[in-house]
């Protein structure tokens, strides 16, 4: 008796039931979880509940956007990057230069900055994808350092070590001016974060996104089910670069200033830590991690203003040695409690 039950030998009802079950499971896999609604509701609520904290909340939103973009690179594409700040920084400078020399409209500036970073991301993806993990570290770090050097050298354009200033931004869409309390700035950044996360979410649950984690998990197998890995990774890297560039642009636009610090190594390292705190591979790790990191850094810089870097480093060491898996497992547990019906998360 053959085990490979031929089609037609299986009772139709049973097969239909299985297929319905499969479809349901797939739908549930990509369904909006309760904790997601909680996050966005809270993000909007703080506009009314914490009106005096708009500046730090804007900082969180920008960092969250930056971290979501790195999650695409790290958590989905599996590329360990030490230089993601390159895209953040390019976006920041692009937005600043655009506002200063071309047009002070923020939304257009945001899109231009994103596009510029996307181009850089696409161009460098070919280099980044060559070689091993180690070479990738060198490449990503090198590109960020190179850009920082460019910013430093081309002082006539970028303001050098003093940074770029002397521009201000027009009201968003002509209607919402950047006010001193930062409320409109925050809403602007939140909107950008929301749209980007939703776009990233669609990507994550699309066939493209399905193939990404497969490539990360088992590249040999992925190739043998027909996945063109290189092409997918290049596109992902470029998209992540666009989002990171937007984050940088938002920083410029909300502060009317660009400092060379946007390309500093610690930016790349900080955003890695954000993802370590929040978890990778489910997009919200960037948001949750950004909240945690910013609050922590804020508290630390009050307690030990000069040497907070030490405590951040210590946190990294502890987190890794204790085990990210344990932390991730704890997060899964909490997520499972918050999610509807305890569905299996990818």
Partner 1 sequence: MTTVLETFGLKRRFGAFMATNDVSLKIEQGARHALIGPNGAGKTTLINLLTGVLVPTAGTIILRGDDITRLPSHLRVKRGLTRTFQINQLFSEYSPLESVTLAILEREGFGGNLWSPVAGYGQLIDEAAALLARFRLASVMEERTSRLPYGKQRLLEIALAFASRPRILLLDEPAAGVPEEERYEVLSIVSDLPADVTVVLIEHDMDLVFSFATRISVLVAGALFAEGSVEEIASHPGVKAVYLGEAA
Partner 2 sequence: MLTILFDGIAYGMLLFILACGLTITLGLMNFINLAHGAFAMAGGYVTVVMMNRYGISFYWCLPAAFFVSAALGALLERVLYRRLYQASHLDQVLFSVGLVFMSVAAADYVMGGQQQLIQLPPELSGRTEILGIGIGRYRLFTIVVCAALAFALQLILARTRFGSRLRAAVDDRRVAMGLGINVSMVFALTFAFGSGLAGLGGAMGAEILGLDPNFPLKFMIYFLIVVAVGGTSTVSGPFLAALLLGVADVAGKYYVPAIGPFIIYGLMIIMLILRPAGLFARGAR
- Long-range contacts at 33-41 (CB < 8 A, ≥ 24 apart): 33/335, 33/338, 33/339, 33/340, 33/343, 33/345, 34/338, 34/339, 34/340, 35/284, 35/335, 35/338, 35/339, 36/284, 38/338, 39/284, 39/287, 39/288, 40/194
How far is residue 233's CA from residue 251's CA, in Å, rounded to a whole number?
Answer: 27
Site mask for partner 2 (CB under 8 A), range 83-122, x = bound: ----------------------------------------
How far is residue 87's CA from residue 248's CA, in Å, rounded to a whole number?
Answer: 8
Q: Contact region for partner 2 (CB under 8 A) — 93-101, 107-115, 208-216, 265-273? A: 265-273
Is 8 one of the binding residues for partner 1 (CB under 8 A)? no
Minimum separation from the CB atom of position 315 to partner 2 (A): 7
Contacts with partner 2 by CB under 8 A: the residue count is 40
Q: Contact region for partner 2 (CB under 8 A) — 2-10, 285-293, 309-317, 335-343? A: 309-317
Is 221 one of the binding residues for partner 1 (CB under 8 A)? yes
Going through 195-322 in order, the beta strands assigned E by DSSP cover: none
Minimum separation from the CB atom of position 116 to partner 1 (A): 21
Residue with smaller CB distance to partner 1, 53 or 213: 213
Count CA atoms closer than 13 A to 279's CA, side-chain side. Answer: 18
How far is residue 288's CA from residue 282's CA, in Å, rounded to a whole number?
Answer: 11
Residue 220 interacts, among partner 2, partner 1, none and using kind-specific CB cut-offs from 5 to 8 Å, with partner 1
Minimal CA–CA distance to 255: which of 178, 188, 190, 196? 178
DSSP string of 254-291, one letter each residue: HHT-B-GGGG-HHHHHHHHHHHHHH-SSSSHHHHHHHH
Is 10 one of the binding residues for partner 1 (CB under 8 A)? yes
Number of other residues whose CB lies within 10 A of the CB of residue 308: 17
Q: Which of 227, 247, 262, 283: binder of partner 1 (CB under 8 A)?
A: 227
Q: Which of 220, 302, 318, 321: binder of partner 1 (CB under 8 A)?
A: 220
**Contact positions vs partner 2 (CB under 8 A):** 74, 80, 82, 127, 130-135, 137-139, 141-143, 145-146, 149, 153, 265, 269, 272-273, 276, 306-310, 312-317, 319-321, 324
**Contact positions vs partner 1 (CB under 8 A):** 2-7, 10, 14-15, 18-19, 21-23, 25-27, 29-30, 202-203, 205-211, 213-214, 217-218, 220-229, 231-232, 235, 344, 346
């Amino acid at each position: 008796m053959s085990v490979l039950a031929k089609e037609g030998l299986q009772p139709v009802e049973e097969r239909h039931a299985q297929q319905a079950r499969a479809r349901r499971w797939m739908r549930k896999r990509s369904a909006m979880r309760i904790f997601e609604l909680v996050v966005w509701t809270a993000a909007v609520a703080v506009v009314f509940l914490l009106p005096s904290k708009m500046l730090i909340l804007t900082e969180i939103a920008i960092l969250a956007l930056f971290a979501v973009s790195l999650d695409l690179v790290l958590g989905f594409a599996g590329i360990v990057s030490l230089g993601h700040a390159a895209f953040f920084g390019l976006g920041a400078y692009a937005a600043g230069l655009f506002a200063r020399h071309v047009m002070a409209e923020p939304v257009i500036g945001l899109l231009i900055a994103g596009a510029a970073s996307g181009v850089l991301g696409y161009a460098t993806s070919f280099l980044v994808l060559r070689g091993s993990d180690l070479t990738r570290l060198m490449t990503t770090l090198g590109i960020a350092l190179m850009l920082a050097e460019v910013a430093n050298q081309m002082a006539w354009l970028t303001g050098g070590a003093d940074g770029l200033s002397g521009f201000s931004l027009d009201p968003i869409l002509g209607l919402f001016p950047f006010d001193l309390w930062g409320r409109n700035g925050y809403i602007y950044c939140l909107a950008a974060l929301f749209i980007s996360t939703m776009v990233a979410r669609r990507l994550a649950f699309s066939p493209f996104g399905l193939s990404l984690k497969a490539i990360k998990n088992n590249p040999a197998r992925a190739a043998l089910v027909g996945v063109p890995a290189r092409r997918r990774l290049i596109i992902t890297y470029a998209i992540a670069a666009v989002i990171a560039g937007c984050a940088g642009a938002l920083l410029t636009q909300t502060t009317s200033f660009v400092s060379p610090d946007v390309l500093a190594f610690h930016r790349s390292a900080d955003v890695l830590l954000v993802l370590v705190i929040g978890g990778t591979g489910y997009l919200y790790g960037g948001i949750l991690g950004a909240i945690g990191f910013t609050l922590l850094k804020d508290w630390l810089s009050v307690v030990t203003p000069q040497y907070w870097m030490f405590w951040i480093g210590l946190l990294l060491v502890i987190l890794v040695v204790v085990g990210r898996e344990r932390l991730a497992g704890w997060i899964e547990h909490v997520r499972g409690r918050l999610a509807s019906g305890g569905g299996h998360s990818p």
